[in-house]
Every structure is written in structure tokens, then in C-alpha cells.
Structure 1
């Protein structure tokens, strides 16, 4: 993890920007710069930010302070992002960040699908930093921004999701996901058309087994991108990065929260797969003799934020198919410049 202060500088620079632009598109910069720092590329952070800067908007105005008395009425109100970020900033300044995360994780978990799963991904990047490096003020404030964005974009799963025939393995369960018939529109429109998903790991009650299954899911979703990413090269990244964000957060949470975290992560990964899946896979192309470091260098040179994030997840897995998935994302995606 970055120890030079560059990550803190980047976060301070980004905290003057809002979590979204154009009212719907996520600011990916905090996640991407964290990934760069985590992989020893802190020296490239500001140069990358300079390229991404045209996609940033000013921090939004607040409406009314969120408090312990009125937070329920503000939950899921995207206009209240600034209010929510300010609320979590106060909470984390007054209490240990793990206590705040533990209190709010079960409240926010049912609504992790808002903002196209980006809020939980931003939280996962922030938690990784806090677990592996010094708890500086910008890094703590980044967690407040992630949690605040999540609360503002909170969107629960519809109650009418039907349990469909599933499979034992995560890979087979993802293969069993049926694409929605109408794949027009954005994430929210498509999400409303998901009416059911295959059953997978539903009987798990042991926390350690939940963590193992979640690791399996991240691996399966990442591997699947190598042959199915052409269905939608950007959005299908989240089938892997959203559950990986949950996996990264588990060490900061009580084990009692690991099983519901697995279930929410599976729902997110399966739903994204249903919304954007291609019906026909392409042939798997082995990555050859390329190293993980070389793959990350290629992702950085490409510059696209989703490519960087998927490559970051692929390196967590580290096997051949994961590296192939990262290279596939580079091949499919438009570069940043």
C-alpha cells in the first residue's frame, strides 16, 4: 500500500468532487486511485487523475442534516448525498470506523444494488486501505464518502424475486442465470426486469464457509468475464468487483454478518449477469507467459477505470483465467484517452 502520502493527496483532491456526474454516472476515481496505490503505482496517481478530471463534478449542496432521528426518511434519496456524506464524516470522527461500519453494514446491505453497485465497491476499496495502512484523515473521510453515497443510492431488491433451479458451484450457478428478455435501458430499468435467479449457497449458515463461497463467487465471476465480457464490457465488470468489495470488507466485520453478506453479493452478481449477459460465449484465450505485474501495467496504460478495477480484482485471484479476464477487458474497452 502507498506510504508516500500520494494517496492522501489524491483523496483530498477528490473529496471536493461529488460521487456522481450527470445525475447518474459514478465517480470512479477514488476506487481507481486506491487500486493504483495498492499495486505500487502511486507515482502514476496524479497523472491518471489529470486525465480523468473532465469526468468530475463539484461536490453537491446539502439539503438538510441527516441525524439519528431522521435517517430513515433520507435513506435512498439521491438528492441527499452531501447530507449523508456529512453525517458519516461526523460519525467516523466521533467513533472508531469499524464500529460505524458494523452498525451500518446490515442497514445498507439490502440496498447495495443502487448506484449500479458502485457505492459498495467504493466502500470495499476504502476498507482495504484502512485495513492495510495508516488510518489517516483523508482515508477515514473516504469511507464516509463511500458509506454516504451508498445510503443516498440505497435501493433494495424487489420482494418478488423467484428462486430458480440452481447449481452447486458458483460457476455453474452463474451459467444457469437466464438473461432478461428486454436488455434496453440502464441499470435501474434492467434491474426492475429481473424476476428470479438460480439458488446458490442458500443453505450456508457457517461464517467461514460463507467466506469461502464468496471467494469462489469472485473467482467464478472474474473467470466468466474472459468468455462472456463482450455481452457488455463495462457493466459485466461489476459481477466480479461488487462481490469482491464485499469480500474485502469481511475482515472488518463481525462474523455474524458474513452469511448475509454472501447472500447479498450473490444477488448482485447474478442480477448483473442476467441484465447484461451474452447468450454465446467466445473461446477462451490463455494469457500466455504474461505476469500479473505486466497485466496491471497494461491496464494502467489503457487507463479505463473499469479495466483498472477488474484487473485489481483479477490480481486478487491471480490465476491464469483471471489474468485472461483482465486482458479481455483491455481488449474490449475504450481507453481513457
Structure 2
């Protein structure tokens, strides 16, 4: 591991990434992972590798230009900001709003104010609005006062979440009788459509959002299936269960189900800065996203029941070797997944975390950025 410290590595990365827009690729809807991947590398202790990783990331795929602000969003006028939710052409307006608020109020107060407003759209960018916000929050919280670059990155995380805000039907509540692993096992899955290609997955997600209960039976019942418990315990249940879900489905596109772990792990980074009354609704909404992910990407739950045995039987590298492998692999999803799994494993030593992180290194192409 290198000698460059976390703050210097993240600061240099944000400077190098300054000119990139929110998304990349020919379809324009792949999230910019640069700040998230660089921050994860730095927190893992690979500070010396961050600058070269950033330059490689920038060259792997063209990014779109940063959005320019056009019209003012009035945060005190609910009709003004609600109208702009989910309007990606307003991303520049959202960034300007959050940039201003983060310089007028403490960042914790801005998070507290906007979190419940953005929470129903947690699926934004396949949860990348949340995840980018969480990586930025960790960076902002690491220094007092936070740097201007760190605050700008937090503004962009929140802006991406708001601009790609994606709601799901129904309201999830922690009023059920089952722990997350049991609820996942109980959830009916749609019939197989063969190998799910990216366009098919996008279409299934769209149909989940439209919510024909005949096509996706059990969706609404599942929203109330989770029993109340502490947010921290539920997050560990979610991340360990979804590490097993990822491990159990090598036939599925190798990236989307990663977010079943990285999204709740990202929530854990932010919870200390939110009022306790926001914790329960946050975890409930995360479960709603999990239900949608399972219905969009999986058709057979039976391999998931064997995931713990599968993980125990795997010949895995040591923890440090696994992290070095992720860094050398270089894909941003592999890096972020390894960091999240390591962090969650430290709280609950479940073998599905390292097994899933190792599986991602095998399944995701080295140049799959």
C-alpha cells in the first residue's frame, strides 16, 4: 500500500476528474464512477495508485460534458423542487442549488433536510445517486473544515440523485415478521426470459415500476415483509444476504446485483449524520429497491439458498490479497464492491462477503468500465 494519505489522494482525484459530466457512454445513462472509485481506493490505503487509476478511468470511455445550470430551483417552494425531481436536463440546476446550500449551511444540515425528499427516488441511476452521495459524505466528514472540492463533490452526488430520481410503486414499511434473508427467500420471482441482456433488464425494471401485479405477483406484499429491528442490524442482514444473491447468480449480468450490497453499505456511511427518525424509513426504502432488483434481474431463487455453503467451500485469497486483486483488476465496480464487502465483513464476518468480492473479480471484464 502507498504512502499518499487519504485526503491528498481524494483531493488530487477530484481535481483530475473536474471536467467530467454526470454520465458517460453512447447512451448517456451510465453513471460517472470516477469520484466513487477513487475515494474507495484511497480509503483502502492505495493512495499512490489513485492518480494513475483516474487517468485510466478517464480514457476508458467518453463522458458527457458537465451540465450547465439553466433555471433556478427554489428550495423553499415545494412545487419548484418537486417539479425538477427526475428531470435530468435540470442536473446543472440541482448542482447549483446544492453548491449554494452547502456553503450557506453545515453539510450535515443539508443532508438532514434533503435526505427524506430524495429517499423515495433511491433507485436513481441504479442507486448511484445514493452511492455517490455516500462516498462524498465520507470524504467531507474526514476533514474539518471540509475542502471546497469535497463539498462540490457532495453537491454533485446529491444533484445526480435528484436529477435521476426514480420512484417505485407502493410504500415499504418495517411492520412484517421476517428478517431480510427470509423475505428474499419468500419473494416470488418472474418467469425466466432466458439470458437477460441490458435492454431486457432495463425493460423489466420499467415494468416493475409500472407494476402490473399479475406480472410481478407478490411485489406489494413483500414491501411490508421485513420485521422492525435496528437499522444497523438490518443493513448487515441486507448486505450479507445480497452478497449471497450475487454469488448465487453467475448467469446474470455481473454488475447490477452488486448494488444490492453497495447501496445498503453506502447507507451505513451516511446514517451517523441523519436524525434517528430517518433511519427506519431509509432501511425500508432500501428493501423496496431490493425487491425491485430481484424481480428485474432474477428468476430462480433456489441457488441463493446454497450461497453460504458455496462461499465456505471456495478457496479464497486472504483479505489483503483480495483487496490488492481488486486494485490490480482496476474496474470501478470491482474496487467499490471489494471496499464495501471488506467494511461489512469487519462488522459481521460472513464468508459470503469475500466470496462475492472474489467472484466479481472473475466475472467482470478488466476493461468493463
TM over 0.5: yes
Confirm or deny: 8 A CA contact 1:229 1:236 kept in the other structure. Answer: no
- CA gap of 1:189–1:217, structure 2 versus 1, over 3 A, is same
Deviation at residue 201 of structure 1 after TM alignment: 5.8
Give matches, 1:26-45, under 5 Å: 26-45=31-50
Deviates more, 1:312-321 or 1:244-253: 312-321
- Of 138, 142, 147 in structure 2, the residue corresponding to residue 136 of structure 1 is 147
Confirm or deny: 8 A CA contact 1:242 1:269 kept in the other structure. Answer: no
2:178 aligns with 168
Per-residue Cα deviation, 1:172-209 (whole angstroms, up to 9, x for no partner): 222333333455636553223234163566452x6xx1
- CA gap of 1:200–1:48, structure 2 versus 1, over 3 A, is farther
- Of 309, 328, 338 in structure 2, the residue corresponding to residue 311 of structure 1 is 338
C-alpha separation in 2, matches of 1:94 and 1:301 = 41
C-alpha separation in 1, matches of 2:324 and 2:225 = 36
1:191 aligns with 205
Deviates more, 1:227-236 or 1:178-187: 178-187
- Number of residue-to-residue matches in the alignment: 331
Deviation at residue 67 of structure 1 after TM alignment: 2.3
- Of 90, 106, 115 in structure 2, the residue corresponding to residue 96 of structure 1 is 106
C-alpha separation in 2, matches of 1:10 and 1:235 = 25
C-alpha separation in 2, matches of 1:287 and 1:65 = 54
- CA gap of 1:294–1:80, structure 2 versus 1, over 3 A, is same
C-alpha separation in 2, matches of 1:108 and 1:228 = 31
1:12 corresponds to 2:31:
no
1:325 corresponds to 2:332:
no
- TM-score normalised according to structure 1 size: 0.90
2:29 aligns with 24
2:216 aligns with none
C-alpha separation in 2, matches of 1:223 and 1:121 = 20
- CA gap of 1:188–1:228, structure 2 versus 1, over 3 A, is closer
- Of 107, 120, 127 in structure 1, the residue corresponding to residue 117 of structure 2 is 107
- SS of residue in 2 equivalent to 1:192: helix
2:232 aligns with 211
Q: What are structure 2's unaligned runs of at least 5 residues?
A: 212-218
- TM-score normalised according to structure 2 size: 0.82
- CA gap of 1:64–1:162, structure 2 versus 1, over 3 A, is closer
Deviation at residue 287 of structure 1 after TM alignment: 4.5
